[in-house]
Each structure stands twice: as structure tokens, then as C-alpha cells.
Amino acid sequence: MVREVDERILRLARRLHRKNNLKFPVPVEDLVRSYADLKFIDMPFDIDGLCMDLKAIGTRTKVFVKKGGYRTRQRFTLAHELGHILIPWHTGNIIDHTDLNGDIDLLYWFMEGEANAFASELLMPEDCVRNYIKEYHDIRELIEGVAEDLDVSIPAAIFRIFRFMPKNNIIGFSYSEHDDKRYVVRSPGTKVRISDSSLFDDEELDSFHNGEVFNFNIGPYCIRYATFPNHLDLPEIYDPRDWREILIECLSCFYDDIKSPRQRINGLISVVNSDLRSSVDERELYAQFIHRISGHAEFSMLLEKDIFHQFAAKRIKEFIEKKI
């Protein structure tokens, strides 16, 4: 279940920064100790932290965090617990499980998500991360810079960075090359139709035109990053025919019955136009259409035909003429 982050939670983290004139990396342990009694103790493997007596009148809140483990994970847990302390409607006792399953109460899911949002904004503020994205043009250096300067884990840095990256950027990572558990993150607005598994499949990834793929390691993490242009130049139009005639000829090269593929192609390009209904940038519409088509293996052969790009260019120009 996806739930929009309550803006009040983000304001709490930002207010804390201003009030304490916080520097990076954020001294999160000191902050927790200023609001609660803090102890590091041994805990079961599936529990990272525990808050007790939240908002209890006359009682100081108690925070317990798992002893040992990675420092960056402890820092995020501390920031998470601080979120529970400062978010006004988080009350009572809260145990923070590492793996949330279907048996857990829905309200608990919401509170955990809110505490995570607070922790992310506290340790990696949006304005700060956006500045890093502007400063670094190499994705590896960007991830390393955020992780090292803000003292967060590589996964935390990746998830946070890709919340604010431009559209059509996709990244996947695993803890090692032998780890089958992979995580894939897409930047907001990404329309490239590529599955999680396809990101790690060289043959399938090759079917996506105009994309760039980078493989690298940061520590033990194996990372694959794919980026696709948001704008592509339209081909010069040389075919005088209507786009409908051009599409029929193109599809007739591959299909005996063109009715179904013609409907689907027209549907795909119309969806792109609908998604970008306010855009009059032909290069943007063309790029998004090519990305859409690339995600349909059954249409990959069309992209090799110049005549198909004539169809796309003419159809897009017609869309834009109607908007102006």
C-alpha cells in the first residue's frame, strides 16, 4: 500500500534542523538522548529498535536500539525512533520490526512509514540531496558522496537519491554478485517499460533503444544503473503521406492482419500524449514513445524501420498542433 507522506512530518524534521543548526552528518544519537533515555541492547534478529512510554505524562520516553551491527543502520534506527518521539500522534510502545508482514496492524504500517519518512528527511534532507544531484554527474560518485558525507548506508543513499532524480532513471542493486535478492528503484515519472528482471538481463536490456547502462561496485554492493534520455530529436520528415497510411504500410511488412497491432500502436502513442498532455515539446513526446515501444518485445522490429519513425514524427507533430 502506498501512502503519501504527511507534509507535517517533513516539517518536523526541517524544524529540528533549523532549531539546532544541525551540521552533517547529523548527530542523531545526541538528538535522541536530548528527548529520551537511550540504551543499546541485544535484540532478536528481526527487531531493530523499541520506543516505550511515548507521550506518557510524567514519564520520560525510553529508547532501546540493537547493539552492534552496521553503524549506518544504527543511525537510521535512531532517526526512526526520534520520529516516533516527535510525531505527535505516535503514542504508547512501538517495536520496530525489520520485516513487516501481513499480520501486522495497518496503523502500525502507517506509523512505521511516517517514522521512516522523518528519518530520511532528518539524515538526508531533500534540499541537500537535490544539491548533490546537481553537483555530481557520475552516478557512482553521487551515491558515494551522499553515503559518506551524510553517514548513511549505500542502500539508504540510493533510495533517497532516486526519490528526486529526473525521470527515466532506473537502478538495481544486490549485496553481492551471488545474492539473488535484488532491489530495483525507479525515479518518479519513469515511463520506460522495463521489468525488474529485465534490468539484469543483457539480452532484454539491449532491446531498449537509446539507453545507457553502467555496472559498478561500491563495497560489496553490485549495482546496475540504466538511464534513458528524456528528449530525442525527431527524424527529418520526407514522406508526404498521412501518418495513417505510413503506419499501415509499416505494419503490413510484419503482419497479415494489422488491425490489432495498429490499434495497440495508436493506443500507446495516445497514452504518451495523454501523460504529457501539457507538453508541446515534440522531442519529449518522441522520446517517451520510443521508450514505450521498446518495452514491448513484439514491436521491437518496428524500431528498425525508418518508416515507423516517419509515422511517429508525423503523429506527434499533429498532437502538438492541436495543443497550440
> pLDDT tens-digit profile of 176-204?
877 888 999 999 999 888 888 888 888 77
- Cell numbers given for 97: 520490526
Nearest Cα to 172, choosing from 201, 208, 136, 209?
201
> pLDDT tens-digit profile of 237-275?
999 999 999 999 999 999 999 999 999 999 999 999 999
Q: Which residues of the chain fall short of a pLDDT of 70?
A: 1-4, 98-105, 207, 209
Q: Which long-range contacts (CB under 8 A, 24 or more apart) does 22-27 make?
A: 24/128, 24/149, 24/150, 24/151, 25/75, 25/123, 25/149, 25/150, 25/151, 25/152, 26/79, 26/122, 26/123, 26/150, 26/151
Radius of gyration of the chain (CA): 25
What are the sequence ranges of the domains in the chain? 7-123, 126-227, 243-322
| Per-residue confidence (pLDDT) for residue 97, from 0 to 100 | 75
Measure the CA–CA gap between 293 and 64, rounded to whole angstroms. 51
- Cell numbers given for 161: 537519491
Helix spans in the chain (H): 7-20, 28-35, 71-86, 106-123, 126-135, 139-150, 154-161, 196-199, 202-205, 243-252, 259-275, 282-294, 306-323
- Cell numbers given for 207: 532491446
| Per-residue confidence (pLDDT) for residue 25, from 0 to 100 | 98
Measure the CA–CA gap between 207 and 229, rounded to whole angstroms. 15
3-state SS, residue 78: helix
- pTM over 0.85? The answer is yes
Nearest Cα to 282, choosing from 225, 320, 237?
320
Max CA distance (Å), the chain: 82
82, amino acid identity: L
- CATH 1.10.10, applies to 7-123: yes
| Per-residue confidence (pLDDT) for residue 102, from 0 to 100 | 47
Annotate 260-290 with DSSP letters as a single string: HHHHHHHHHHHHHHHHTTT---HHHHHHHHH
- Asked if 153 and 72 count as a contact pair (C-beta separation under 8 A), the reply is yes
